[in-house]
Structure 1
Amino acid sequence: MKTKIYYFFPLLLSTLLFFFNKAQAQNAAVVTGEISGKVLDETQKVFPYASVSLLNAKDSSSVRGTLTGDDGVYEFKSIQAGKYLVAIYVVGYQKMVKGPYQIGADRRLHAVGMVQMVVDAKQLKGVDIVKQKPLIERQIDKTVLNIENSILATGNTALEILQKSPGVTVDKDGKIALRGKQGVTVMLDGKPTYLSAEQLANLLRSTEGSAIQSIELITNPSAKYDAAGNSGIINIKLKKNRNFGTNGTISAGAGYGTYHKANGGLNLNHREKKFNIFGNADYGLNKRFGETDIVRVNNTAEDQTYFDQTSHSINTRKNGNFKAGMDYFINDHHTLGFFVNGYRSTRKSAADVLTLIGDQPGKTDSSVVAPNTGSSKYTGITYNLNYRGTLDTLGQEISVDADYSRYNGNEDNIFNNMFKNAVGQPLKPSYIFRNAAPSTVKIWGAKLDYTYPINKDMKLDLGLKSSFVNTDNNFLYENFVQEQWQNDVTRSNRFVYDENINAAYANFKTKFKNTTVQVGLRAEQTNSKGNSITESKIVNRDYINLFPSVFINQELSKDHEVGLSYSRRIDRPDYGNLNPFISYLDLYSYRQGNPFLKPQFTNAFEFSYSFKKSLNVTLGYSHTSDVMTDVLLTDTAKKTIFISIQNLAKQDSYNLNLSYPIAITPWWSTNNNLTTYYNSFQAPDILGAEYKSGRLAFNLNTTQSLTLNSSTKFEWSGYFQSKQVYGTLLIAAQYGVDLGASKSFLDNKLNLKFSANDVFKLQKSKITSALPSQNYVVNERWESQVFRLTCTYRFGSKDVKGARQRSSSSETEGRRVKSGR
């Protein structure tokens, strides 16, 4: 890859010059203009998400359409010379038409001004039309889920909401896949989460759905984003306050399934002319049960041993997170900000494990009874200092972020194994052992982003980023011998990992006529050192990679639009997965790290089609080399089953996504999403044989929303995930149905929401092996049927502008922090 760098930069430069010259020539020859305005509702407040159409004044034919933003403002840019009308239409209001407006050489800009909508007296009786964003929006480079007004988000955590999102699947351990592929980068408000898949799941379990405004699904990110995440980016945006004054929100909720649940949160914001101070805190308590049954056969040349292992566990989690910060507005063009956020997660578990062992199916020769206990504690804190400046009226901007994060974790488990004979009598002395896994992660990062608008149709983005990571994992294994704990040096291990990533990117975007083109290039240099101190193993890696991206969008007509995109991505191993230590789940089950894991690279292509901004179809293909995946194997010598992450040769993935929201009546709307995909995996050698697997699968999501009036709403949603293959695992179908209802009081200040998750108690997991030589079945069920009631009260000014959304400098490094479940 290093030898090819000098080929790519001249090619990128010539491509940019081509588009620049072509656009400049068109700008010189074609007269274009702009029409803008602002829409108010019947109470003279800004009207967001109103439909606005640009019409040809000659025959009232539609030229272009748009929606007003949060501030009620709309804009039509790059309008060719001619005479136009502006039509504003919202269900329940009279249609408003303004104009005509003449665009020509003598006048190119028209400000329509403020237009106040008038309620239509003919609207359906008994039904109040409520203006709000649709649940699902499709944009040129992403899909947006507007969670803010969804009942089903209430009481649910961010992780549970993701499980119901179109094209998203979440497995039993909280690992997230998008359109059938794992390796998703998750951000909160465009900021890094600094966590691995497992620790990220802990954070998302403690983030309440009532605090979420929207979720963005970005399947093909541009060069501006970090190259990590082979299946794309999920950005969770939290609710913000607006305008000047002081306000806040307080919420409390309770739930019950098999055990009780509770959640609460407080959000405060105060803004004056020069300062904006903000803060929030959330707390969650979740006690839940889990059942796991593993039936397997250990095959050797001499004999077969049958294992039937059943585990019943109760886990109690307490999660809390907070954020506090301040923005200082130096003047209208320059802002300096600081924030600190952190979280704390604790878990206590008690599991009763029974393992029946025999030489024939259904026969028990001996058994192991194990009352195992465990606890964990993870804390993290991030400090961020940021600056944003607008350098001129054309939109030239610069932003700088610097941050420091520190994470501490510890997990303690005690395994008490009592051996019994066929009739339940003691067979031999108990084997008692315990392990502890203290860990520390430190991350330093800084980034600079610069935007230069060449003209109104052309923009260039440039940026630099550097991050430094240090992790220290100390795994301690002790046996209980002669009434005291003794360290087992053969099973203990200390692992230290250091990594430095330096990156630079350029992203160019231009538009001419009905075509939008965006091309970008990102270069990342990685330097890493993994040091297994106990085993005296050191793995050094230094490499440079280029990550190009291309986006082309074409408006064929007012109703038809197509797009084509390409990007190259990388996924680096979680820091903990590189640690070669063995982490025991019980006497016969464990997880082992792999210090020789290599990063995986993905080339992704996507074609999209949109009809009337409603029916959306995307067709995608991606090829991943050295794909990292969990491999579940049996150790025939030790008669154990274990999980390790290995690099397979490649993965090819094909996907087709269809989304179609339907407004059945003014009070009944539905959103439907179907994702069909085919994943194939290949490796030259697993257990001494070539491995190939592939399977067609699909994911179906539907949400039905019924609005009785402005204060009462009902929702139900359902999902179905068909049987699929991932790596060496065959995962059975999963499905479920959720219900919800909400009622508002006191001028919408007080809101009560009721939700029922997995109403019919259908959710469960079944995993078998795609390897012919492996014979096991893993069945799991967890506490999925939960009923919740949540109360939210908003107080203070309604005109408070929220804190700026910041994107700090280490968004993917922290995501790879490894922790226990």
Structure 2
Amino acid sequence: MKTIILFTILFTILFSLSNANAQGINLTGEIAGKVLDEKQAAFPYASVSLLNAKDSTLVKGTLSNDSGNYLLTNIKQGAYLIAIYVVGYKKAYKGPYAITATNQSHKLDATQLNQDSKQLKGVEILRQKPLIERMIDKTVINVENSTLTTGNSALDILEKLPGVTVDKDGKVSLKGKQGVNIMLDGKPTYLSSEQLANLLRTTEGSAIQSIELIPNPSAKYDAAGNSGIINIKLKKNQNYGTNGSVDAGLGYGKYYKASGGLTLNHREKKFNVFGNFYYGRNKRYSGTDIMRTNNTATNKTYFDQTNYNLRIRNNINYKGGIDYFINDKSTIGFSFNGYKSDGKNASDVLTLIGDQPSETDSSVVAKNPNDYKYTGISYNLNYKGTIDTLGQEISVDADYSNYTGMENNNFNNRYLDAQGQTLKPAYLFRNATPTKTNIKAIKADYIYPINKKMKLEAGIKSSFVKTDNNFIFENFENNEWINDNKRSNQFLYDENINAVYSNLTRKFKTTSVQLGLRAEQTNSKGNSITDNKIVSRHYINLFPSVFINQTLSKDHDMGFSYSRRIDRPDYESLNPFVDYLDLYSYRFGNPFLKPQYTNSFEVSYTYKKNLNITFGYSRTTDVISNVLLTDTIKKTIFISNENLTTQDSYNMNITYPIKITNWWNSSNNLNVYYNKYRTPDLLGSPYESGKIAFHLNTTQTITLNSTTNVELSGNYESKQVAGTLLLDPQYNVDFGVKKSLMDKKMDIKLAVNDVFKTQGTKITSAIPSQHYVIKERWESRIFRLSCTYRFGSKDIKAATKRSSSSEAEEKRVKSGG
């Protein structure tokens, strides 16, 4: 009932807003035209104003689209001028044109804008960016002004992006493939999947400027990530003086959520100081149902398990730094970035056990509370300098990061008979999992323009990672906690990677070619102290890359890319300790996992810089895959990681943003893929599985007026195979409204995640001998209201190139290792 009332109020407001706009004036005519730049190319996002010819007062305005075209509609009868203006260009006037009963439509000749040299000395050109920008080697999602970021974390936003999926544990896939390398401001995170998920959950959406999707990276990037790179770029200061913003938000699903933050920037001629702080509190539930059959040669046992989990999480995320502009050619910067996450879980588990379906012979009732705390901080010192007027550049980065975590899990299991009476004494045990991760990295990058059409890029990098994962298992016996040495374990992992790379780029008349080669030396040592297992590896790999882009004509472009990549097992997957969900469900790591290697090919076609179609193929060897199996002797179900022999992946991706009208923009993405897994021996038999699947994502943006817009997005993912798992279809619809006030200093946003409450997963086994059904659900439908207020200087910065820490990182991404 609450949902119906809220949507009735919301749509009544939207209808009233749009109706008020429509009834204001009785309009009958239209004027259309096109804007060109100084090179006769289409000029997108130019400001076009309709003025009264009598006194030059403003009647209405619009922006030119990606093709430079504009259309002004619903114009009253009268005489009008057209004014076209972009910062840094001379204003152009057209007209007058009369709208009469006999002449209601005017198609104007193209208007060419000319640069204003005086203005260009003092300012830089600013244009509003579209939600999705397709570039030669990546897709950029400009989420900064999107209403769907309202109250969401970075992890929430990722699952809304074209071709991206996020599972319940926070693991990210791109175009149907796992193993994505997540970067923040161009820096690799080096974290385990669990630590990375915690970091992304504590990164507020309001702090993000854009997200880059790079499915086939070149040799200048770290070779990790078989399905590519996702680079999350945080906001940066663009103005002189002091400015900032204040954010506050509330959310409600089944429980209330809250978030807030403060951003401050101060920039002078020689210095730029910046910082932000965000806090979030989230209370939400999730549930897991596991129905399975334990088959042995003599009998069957049926398990029907229900798990209800209530989590309360507090997140803090902060960032700060300073840039010093030594001169026009050199900048040195220092920054730090940290997070803290703590919370409590209350997990109630009921397991019904019987030798017939739907009949209970006995049951286990468990109360499994836990609490946790994760903290992390990273420091960066960077330098960037221009060597000469030819364009030679050098940049250096030094990074240090430290992450700690602690989880305390308690398990209280009571055994009951069919009548609900105590069957045997309760079994109580607990575990603690303190973790430490220490990271050091340094890299240097160099750019040398050989001539106007040829450029050489080169760089070196070394990173050192140390992790200490301790697992302390204790049983409650004779009224005291006693350590279980057989189940406790300490796992140490050291890793050193040394890399060198070079890229050569050559531009021809209609063709661009980039050839790259990266070499990485890896030294790793995993030491399971309690189990006395040591796994040491030392190896050198070469990672070539090739990019070719061909302009066929003005509206048609084609491209080809190839790269070889590696995925090393994460620290959590290598740790052999056993992590219990309950008495009958657990997971453990595999210290003998080998790295996986992927060769990727992609062909792309672009029409009018708008419609983009890609066809890709990749083959991965020694595939690191989650394997969910049952133990018929112990009557348990467990998750581990194994190396499957090969994975062949085929995919076709179509991205098509459409400007339906001046007030309606549509961004659409369709990804069709086929993953084939093979291994000669899994549970004593050959294993092979594959299935065609598709992922459809669409976002509709409707502008009601100059201060109000609406976003509606839909997401559908069909049934698919992931390793040894079969996943049922998933789908959801999100909705958002943004209203700007106070001369656009304040934004009020209302958003609803999973409007129809359809999100959830159903998992079955792709192995015929395994019989289980897992259903997962969570608090997915959440109403969120947020307010952002911006204050301080709005002065446009000088044309002198600013190189703050984040901008320097952006350049280093383009030229660094």
What TM-score does the superposition give when structure 2 sets the normalisation length?
0.85
Provide the residue aligned with 2:591 in structure 1: 595
| Partner of residue 115 from structure 1, selected from 72, 82, 90 | 90
CA distance in 1 between partners of 2:98 and 2:217 (Å)? 42
Tell me the CA shift for residue 113 of structure 1. 7.2
Alpha-carbon distance change, 638 to 88 in structure 1, aligned in 2, over 3 angstroms = closer
Alpha-carbon distance in 1 for matches of 2:751, 2:445? 42
Displacement after TM superposition at 1:347 (Å): 2.2
Distance in 2 (CA, whole Å) between partners of 1:254 and 1:737 is 20
Residue 455 of structure 1 corresponds to: 451
Partner in structure 2 of residue 432 of structure 1: 428
Corresponding position: 1:349 with 2:324: no
Map 1:582-661 onto structure 2 (within 5 A). 582-661=578-657
Residue aligned with 1:177, SS: strand
Is 1:771 the counterpart of 2:746? The answer is no
Which sits farther off after the overlay, 88-97 or 795-804?
88-97
88 and 679 in structure 1: CA distance in 2 versus 1, 3 angstrom threshold: closer
| SS of corresponding position for 1:114 | coil
Structure 2 residue corresponding to 1:525, chosen from 521, 537, 542: 521
* Paired amino acid for 2:453: D
* 1:487 is aligned to 2:462: no
Pick one of 731, 735, 740 that aligns with 2:736: 740
Aligned-pair distance for 1:725?
0.3
Q: CA deviation at 1:195?
A: 2.1
Q: 1:513 aligns with which of 501, 504, 509?
A: 509
Q: Do the aligned partners of residues 759 and 485 (structure 1) sit closer, same or farther apart at CA in structure 2, a change above 3 Å counting?
A: same
**Aligned match for 2:752, one of 749, 752, 756:** 756
Q: Secondary structure at the match of 2:244?
A: strand
Inter-partner Cα distance in structure 1 for 2:237 and 2:568: 37
CA contact 2:513–2:547 (8 Å) conserved in 1: yes
SS at match of 1:392: coil
Q: What is the deviation of 1:810?
A: 13
User: What residue is the counterpart of 1:300 in the other structure?
Assistant: 296
- Is the 2:353–2:360 Cα contact (8 Å) retained in structure 1? yes
- Report the equivalent of 2:360: 364
User: Is the counterpart of residue 182 in structure 1 residue 178 in structure 2?
Assistant: yes
Aligned: 1:165 with 2:169? no
Query: Residue 215 of structure 2 aligns with which residue?
Result: 219
Q: How far did residue 199 of structure 1 move?
A: 1.7
Distance, in Å, in 1 between the alignment partners of 2:712 and 2:671 is 20
| Mapping of residues 200-349 of structure 1, within 5 Å | 200-349=196-345
Deviation at 1:114, TM superposition (A): 3.1
Pairs aligned (count): 722
Q: Does 1:804 align with 2:814?
A: no
**Contact 2:520/2:540 (<8 A) preserved:** yes
Return 5+ residue gaps in structure 1 as ranges: 1-49, 56-61, 71-86, 99-111, 812-821
Cα deviations by residue, 1:47-98 (Å, 9 ceiling, x for unpaired)? xxx975576xxxxxx7x5576899xxxxxxxxxxxxxxxx976666958799
Distance 1:439 1:591 in 2: 17
CA shift in 2, pair 1:689/1:52, >3 Å? farther
Distance, in Å, in 2 between the alignment partners of 1:798 and 1:495 is 52
519, 536, 560: which is aligned to 2:532? 536
> How many Å apart are 1:578 and its aligned residue?
0.9
Aligned-partner SS, 1:202: helix
Question: Take 2:475 and 2:811, find their aligned partners in 1: how far apart are those partners?
Answer: 43
Q: In structure 2, list runs of 5 or more residues that go unmatched.
A: 1-33, 48-66, 73-80, 105-125
SS at match of 2:369: strand
Instruction: Write the distance in 2 (CA, Å) between the matches of 1:448 and 1:121.
Output: 59
User: What are the superposed Cα offsets for residues 424-459 of structure 1, whole Å, 9 maximum, x if unpaired?
Assistant: 000000000000011111111100000011112211
CA offset digits 1:617-652 (Å, max 9, x no partner): 000000000010100001111111000011100100
Structure 1 SS opposite 2:368: strand
Task: Find the aligned partners of 1:607 and 1:67 in 2 and give their Cα distance.
Answer: 27
User: Contact 1:247/1:800 (CA < 8 Å) preserved in 2?
Assistant: no
* 1:516 to 1:587, Cα distance in 2 relative to 1, 3 A: same
CA distance in 2, matches of 1:533, 1:793: 53
> Aligned-pair distance for 1:192?
2.8
The worse-fitting range, judged by mean Cα deviation, of 113-122 and 660-669 is 113-122
* Shift in CA distance, 504/418, structure 1 to aligned 2, threshold 3 Å: same
> 787, 790, 794: which one pairs with 1:794?
790
Letter paired with 2:417 = N
Instruction: Measure the CA separation in 2 of the matches of 1:121 and 1:532.
Output: 82
Aligned-partner Cα distance in 2 for 1:555–1:90:
26
Structure 1 pair 123/696, CA: closer, same or farther in 2 (3 Å)? farther
CA distance in 1, matches of 2:359, 2:614: 53
Residues 651 and 705 (structure 1), Cα distance of their counterparts in 2 relative to 1, 3 Å cut:
same
Map 1:21-32 onto structure 2 (within 5 A).
none
CA distance in 1, matches of 2:812, 2:491: 22
1:498 equivalent in alignment to 2:494: yes
Change (3 A) 1:52 1:240: farther
In 1, the alpha carbon distance for the partners of 2:579 and 2:791 equals 48
Where 1:507 maps in the other structure, the secondary structure is: strand
Give the C-alpha shift of residue 577 in structure 1.
1.2
Distance 1:164 1:119 in 2: 43
Give the C-alpha shift of residue 255 in structure 1. Answer: 0.5
* 1:132 corresponds to 2:128: yes
Task: Give the CA deviation at 1:340.
Answer: 1.2
Structure 1 counterpart SS, 2:148: helix
State whether residues 259 and 281 of structure 2, in contact with CA within 8 Å, keep that contact through their aligned partners in structure 1. yes
Counterpart pick for 1:375 among 368, 371, 375 = 371
The 3-state SS of whatever aligns with 1:201 is: helix
Confirm or deny: 8 A CA contact 1:324 1:341 kept in the other structure.
Answer: yes
Secondary structure at the aligned position of 2:805 is classed as coil
Per the TM alignment, residue 243 of structure 1 is displaced from its structure 2 partner at its CA by 2.7
| CA apart distance, 1:200 | 1.5
Picking from 385, 390, 403, the partner of 2:399 is 403
Cα RMSD for the two superposed structures: 2.4
Bigger mean CA deviation after superposition, 209-218 or 414-423:
209-218
Q: Residues 233 and 373 (structure 1 numbering): CA distance in 2 closer, same or farther, change over 3 Å?
A: same
Q: Which deviates more, 783-792 or 142-151?
A: 142-151
**Quick one: structure 1 residues 581 and 205, their matched pair in 2 at CA, closer, same or farther if it must change by over 3 Å?**
same
Once residues 165 and 628 of structure 1 are traced to their aligned partners in structure 2, the CA distance between those partners, rounded to angstroms, is 25
The corresponding residue for 1:58 is: none
Q: Show the counterpart of 2:195.
A: 199
**For residue 636 of structure 1, what is the amino acid of its counterpart?**
T
Q: 1:119 to 1:157 in 2, by over 3 A?
A: farther
CA distance in 2, matches of 1:714, 1:623: 41
**Which deviations, in whole Å up to 9, do the C-alpha atoms of 1:322-372 show, x marking residues without a partner?**
111100111110111111111101121001100000111111010000011
1:602 Cα deviation from its structure 2 partner: 0.3
- Give the partner amino acid of 1:760: F
Q: Which amino acid aligns with 2:394?
A: I
Gap change, CA 1:524 and 1:448, over 3 Å in 2: same
Q: Show the counterpart of 1:78.
A: none
Contact 1:566 1:606 survives alignment (8 Å):
yes
Instruction: Tell me: CA distance 1:364–1:276, structure 2 relative to 1, closer, same or farther (3 Å).
Output: same
Q: Distance in 1 between matches of 2:793 and 2:35?
A: 28
Aligned-partner SS, 1:395: coil
Indicate conservation of the 8 Å contact 2:35/2:46, yes or no: no
CA distance in 2, matches of 1:767, 1:383: 41
Point out which structure has higher relative CO (alpha carbons under 8 A, 6+ apart).
Answer: 1
What is the alpha-carbon distance in structure 2 between the residues aligned to residue 780 and residue 549 of structure 1?
Answer: 40
Cα distance change on mapping 1:614 and 1:280 into 2, 3 Å: same
Q: Determine the structure 2 residue equivalent to 1:707.
A: 703
The residue matched to 2:89 in structure 1 has which SS? strand
Separation in 2, partners of 1:793, 1:706: 23
Aligned residue number for residue 37 of structure 1? none
* TM-score after normalising by structure 1: 0.85
Amino acid at match of 1:647: N
